[in-house]
Structure 1
Amino acid sequence: MNLPHTRTAPAPPAPRPGAALAALAAAQFTVMLATSNVNVALPRIAAGVGLSDGGTTWVVNAYGLAFGALLLAGGRAADLLGRRRVLVIGLGLFAVASLTAGLAGSAGVLIAARAVQGIGAAAVAPAALALALALFPPGPGRGRVLGVWGAVSGAGAACGVLLGGVLTQAWGWPWIFHSVALGTALVVVAVVVLVPRTADRMTGRFDLLGTAVVTVALTCLVWGLTTARGTGWTDPPVAAALVAAAVLLAAFAVIELRRPDALLPPRLFTTGRVAAGNLLMALLGSVWIALFFFLPLYQQQVLGEGPLVTGVGQLPLAAANVLGAALAPRVARRLGATTTLTAALLTEALGLLWLSRISAHGSYATDVLGPSILVGLGLGIAFVQLTALAVEGVPARDAGLAGGLVNTTRQVGGAIGLAALASLAGSVTAHSAAHQTRLEALTTGYRTAFTVSASVITATALLALFLTRRAGRTGPSTATPSTRPPSDPAELPRLSRTG
């Protein structure tokens, strides 16, 4: 008796790593886009939902507050629950919140929707980075991942200003959020189709106590810093929030040393590079976020450009950022990591110093274009190098947490830098208004902010020269293979050259 012949359908081809990386990069681009796409539209948003001047800032702050405070929790959740799963859930939450923000008819609904956007972003950013790093082993492929990550991160922030200006002028401010909701929905589909399912779920328990303490601490810190811009540093609620943040962060450090499943385990810092990378990233972030705050203000309030022209004016900066991020791995292989990072930071500092010479009677071509290209080029290269430093040698089980940590330091550093620089620029402008015209006083405040930013980045370059060399001498690359036999090839520390 002949049995009927059955044909087994061939297994579907595995998604290519390049396509999966593109989907994950699109997720990161979307998150970064939302950090800046409302900046140029704030006056029209305020008029549309009836926001006061103080309330307008919370359209920006609500997103940044939730994003920065929950990144560590998002990174650990990705490690324990599965990175692909957490990424899809975060993207879904982000899309729904974006749609709600565009439909908001009141200030409360809009600000709440922006906060939920931040919660979704806190799940997306670390999960996407961990998945992207898992696609490529350490080596040239890993450099490609970090180059793409740097390009989409910087370009997302710059293109957010452009998109906000175009959509606000063409169809109105709600389309800033509607477009993000539509784009995020497409990213969800791309992730589901292109990013492979992997056994990326790690064993362990979620550190609820540590998560609660650090989340409240970061919330107090970011809230205090952002509120201080409007009320002043001596305002009692601001002072109380900052003191509470300091006390809670100290308590968090004690808690983590005593818990077996700590949210931020000490082993994360045993490579000698994670701490250095995160400290330098915080300093870079302190200037990065402020740049995209002051530059559009100067273009609109002093040069008199509209939202559309202001947005288009960010394109050279975005293009230079993408170019720098793309070149970073190649330059680092030729010059060494330390030399490349130091040169990139000094290039950015030079561009910021050039911006400190802006004029109240200047123009985009003479005052903004040239320094924007220098800043973008240096920023793109530096971001790639610092991200590589902050995740180098991290065990595979902590990849999501490492991604959450480096994003947290950038966000918190940005909140600190923006609060300090905005307060400084505001006080200088107020003092100058007594003997200068309004435009001249505004320009004097912006020039001061750019001068201080250049000083911070110059100091960061000098610190990088010391820290990266020191980390290279004391990190795991000097250990023998028998020190800690890795359980997974991805856990093998990679050697990186220092300049």
Structure 2
Amino acid sequence: MTTHTTGRPIAPPQAITQRLGLILFVCCAGQFLVVLDSSVVNVALPLIDHSLHLGAGSLHWVVNSYTVVFAGALLLGGRLADLYGRRRLLLLGIGLFTLAALVGGLASNPAILVTARGFQGLGSAIMAPSTLTVIGTVFTEPGARARAFGLWSAVAGAGGAVGVLAGGVIAEWFSWRWTLLANVPVGLALLALTAVVVPEASRSRSELRGRVDVVGALSVTLGLMVLVYGVAGASREGWGSVRTLGLVGFGAALLAFFVLDQAKIASQPLVPLSIFRVRQVTAANVTALACSGALFSSFYFFTLLLQQVLDYSPLETGLAYLPMTAGLFAGARGIAPLVQRIGPRPVLIAGHLISASGLLWLSTAGPDAGFLSALLGPGLLLGVGQGMVMTALTIAATADLPYSQSGLASGLINTTRQLGGAIGLALLVTISGSRIADRTAAGQPVREALASGYGLAFATAAGFLALGLLGALAVPARRKA
């Protein structure tokens, strides 16, 4: 056995090598839960409303309370993992996530449910950066690391679509409460497995002496939460409303202060701004912002298209996501070796083009659309393209960074994804809602008006990918060894 600077024993390299598969399973399962729970309750929202009587004005917070806290606390979660250890933070995140799922599943009123979902988001914000940095630090051989990142990206990408399928099955056959309670046995098993197989890597004395920049942590966490909160409500309140402008302005002011704090005030900044001098980190995050706006929004509008235009049941809706899920998994898992050989930029470009073609095809779906003729092909294209993009982005955003910044980079790319998803969804809900209102006022049948609005949302999402493509072009070409 060897020891690190705190004097505690850590497993020798050969012991870690022997359980790499289990470590990868733990990290992928943790990220899968994080993404799954952002979408698993979507299909069950009508049942939740019927049971707890939230009302149309509050029901969306069953989803948004998770998203807002998750997005706001991700950078803090990544920094805490760097300072206090990935394994320790991974255990804390899984424990908090599982406990919150139990409380939410047993909730007797809306306040308890929404609060529990917020704490689930906090647990996810602690867990997500840790899963990625454990992979980055345990898998040291470049090829193995690329394959591990590919599997992690595949699981992360498929989690959202699987969440819709799982939510549909549970909502139709059991109770909405089990969309949350099902996490409890899974979380407990994952907690036990993590404690047994995940090693705590050694850290330098400077890392052990590191402190959390409390002012920076509070300003960026509150700033992101307020910004996402304001954007999430914009589709209902209007972008020009006093509430939306006030929240977005206040969130932007907090984030501006955060940048000032990191540049001039903090002695040990939460996000050293020097990380943005790494070209591929900056380019990957710009790309992730646009790409996530397209992908997260596509899930939302695909569900509405299936249920409100094509009259699919919750279970049929979940099953209709299977081609997209399979495409995401295949694209992310299969492309990793190629990324290792040719670099992330060509894969990002191809993935964006494939995804955009799927979205443009999907934008033509009308009330009479058949699954085989109008949904299967676009779903596969969108899934494969986004799977390719997710793997290449993960590698680009975290490669070639020192160990002490791996948690920061992981938290940063996850934060960017959540922020892009929230902003993209709010924009597309506003755009599609305006088209639907115009078509309905002109006397068009409701289903045709809805199909037109959702089609415009898919086409606009393809436009987001055009912006992401510009970021992909800025990712450095692969350097020769």
TM value normalised by structure 2: 0.93
Q: Deviations over 1:115-139 (max 9, x none)?
A: 0000000000001111111111251
Q: What is the aligned partner in structure 1 of residue 429 from structure 2? A: 422
The CA deviation at 1:267 is 2.8
* Aligned counterpart for 1:175 among listed residues 169, 175, 178: 178
Q: Which structure 1 segments of 5+ residues have no match?
A: 1-10, 473-494
Q: What is the aligned partner in structure 1 of residue 7 from structure 2? A: none
8 Å Cα contact 2:286-2:471 kept in structure 1? no
Q: Against the structure 1 CA distance between its residues 336 and 227, is the aligned structure 2 distance closer, same or farther, given a 3 Å change threshold?
A: same
Q: What is the aligned partner in structure 1 of residue 112 from structure 2? A: 109
Indicate whether 1:144 and 2:152 are aligned: no
Q: What is the aligned partner in structure 1 of residue 306 from structure 2? A: 299
Q: What is the aligned partner in structure 2 of residue 257 from structure 1? A: 263
Q: Deviations over 1:146-186 (max 9, x none)?
A: 10111110111110001000011111100110111221111
Indicate whether 1:270 and 2:272 are aligned: no
8 Å Cα contact 2:82-2:406 kept in structure 1? yes
Indicate whether 1:234 and 2:240 are aligned: yes
Indicate whether 1:208 and 2:230 are aligned: no
Q: What is the aligned partner in structure 2 of residue 483 from structure 1? A: none
Q: What is the aligned partner in structure 2 of residue 34 from structure 1? A: 37
1:114, 1:304 → 2: CA distance? 29
Identity over aligned pairs, percent:
38
2:324, 2:480 → 1: CA distance? 29
Q: What is the aligned partner in structure 2 of residue 380 from structure 1? A: 387
Q: Against the structure 1 CA distance between its residues 64 and 497, is the aligned structure 2 distance closer, same or farther, given a 3 Å change threshold?
A: farther
- SS state of the match for residue 240, structure 2? coil
Q: What is the aligned partner in structure 2 of residue 198 from structure 1? A: 201
8 Å Cα contact 2:27-2:152 kept in structure 1? no
1:299, 1:192 → 2: CA distance? 42
8 Å Cα contact 1:102-1:175 kept in structure 2? yes
8 Å Cα contact 1:342-1:461 kept in structure 2? yes
The number of equivalent residue pairs is: 463
The CA deviation at 1:84 is 0.5
Q: Deviations over 1:411-456 (max 9, x none)?
A: 0011100000011111111111022111111111100000011122
- SS state of the match for residue 54, structure 1? coil
8 Å Cα contact 1:83-1:200 kept in structure 2? no
Q: What is the aligned partner in structure 2 of residue 399 from structure 1? A: 406
1:36, 1:453 → 2: CA distance? 19
1:229, 1:149 → 2: CA distance? 32
Q: Deviations over 1:329-374 (max 9, x none)?
A: 2233455432221011100000000011011222222221110000
Q: What is the aligned partner in structure 2 of residue 279 from structure 1? A: 286
1:448, 1:100 → 2: CA distance? 39
8 Å Cα contact 2:290-2:465 kept in structure 1? yes
2:132, 2:143 → 1: CA distance? 17
One-letter identity of the residue aligned with 1:208: V
8 Å Cα contact 2:35-2:156 kept in structure 1? yes
Indicate whether 1:409 and 2:412 are aligned: no
* Aligned counterpart for 2:161 among listed residues 158, 163, 172: 158
Q: What is the aligned partner in structure 2 of residue 25 from structure 1? A: 28
Q: Which structure 2 segments of 5+ residues have no match?
A: 1-11
The CA deviation at 1:53 is 0.8
After TM superposition, list the pairs within 5 Å mapping 1:351-366 onto structure 2.
Answer: 351-366=358-373
1:307, 1:193 → 2: CA distance? 38
Q: Against the structure 1 CA distance between its residues 105 and 176, is the aligned structure 2 distance closer, same or farther, given a 3 Å change threshold?
A: same
2:311, 2:407 → 1: CA distance? 44
2:393, 2:378 → 1: CA distance? 22
Q: Deviations over 1:390-424 (max 9, x none)?
A: 11222101111111100000000111000000111
- SS state of the match for residue 433, structure 1? helix
2:353, 2:422 → 1: CA distance? 22
Q: What is the aligned partner in structure 1 of residue 3 from structure 2? A: none
1:463, 1:439 → 2: CA distance? 37
2:301, 2:277 → 1: CA distance? 38
After TM superposition, list the pairs within 5 Å mapping 1:3-22 onto structure 2.
Answer: 13-14=15-16, 15-22=18-25
1:200, 1:116 → 2: CA distance? 29
2:97, 2:203 → 1: CA distance? 23
Q: Deviations over 1:469-493 (max 9, x none)?
A: 4xx5xxxxxxxxxxxxxxxxxxxxx
One-letter identity of the residue aligned with 2:80: A
One-letter identity of the residue aligned with 1:300: Q
* Aligned counterpart for 2:103 among listed residues 100, 125, 132: 100
Q: What is the aligned partner in structure 1 of residue 84 from structure 2? A: 81
Q: Deviations over 1:77-133 (max 9, x none)?
A: 111111111110110110011011111111111111100000000000001111111
* Aligned counterpart for 1:246 among listed residues 231, 242, 252: 252
The CA deviation at 1:383 is 0.5
8 Å Cα contact 1:92-1:188 kept in structure 2? yes
Q: Deviations over 1:228-278 (max 9, x none)?
A: 111111221211011112212111111101222000102322322111111
8 Å Cα contact 2:327-2:384 kept in structure 1? yes
2:142, 2:241 → 1: CA distance? 50
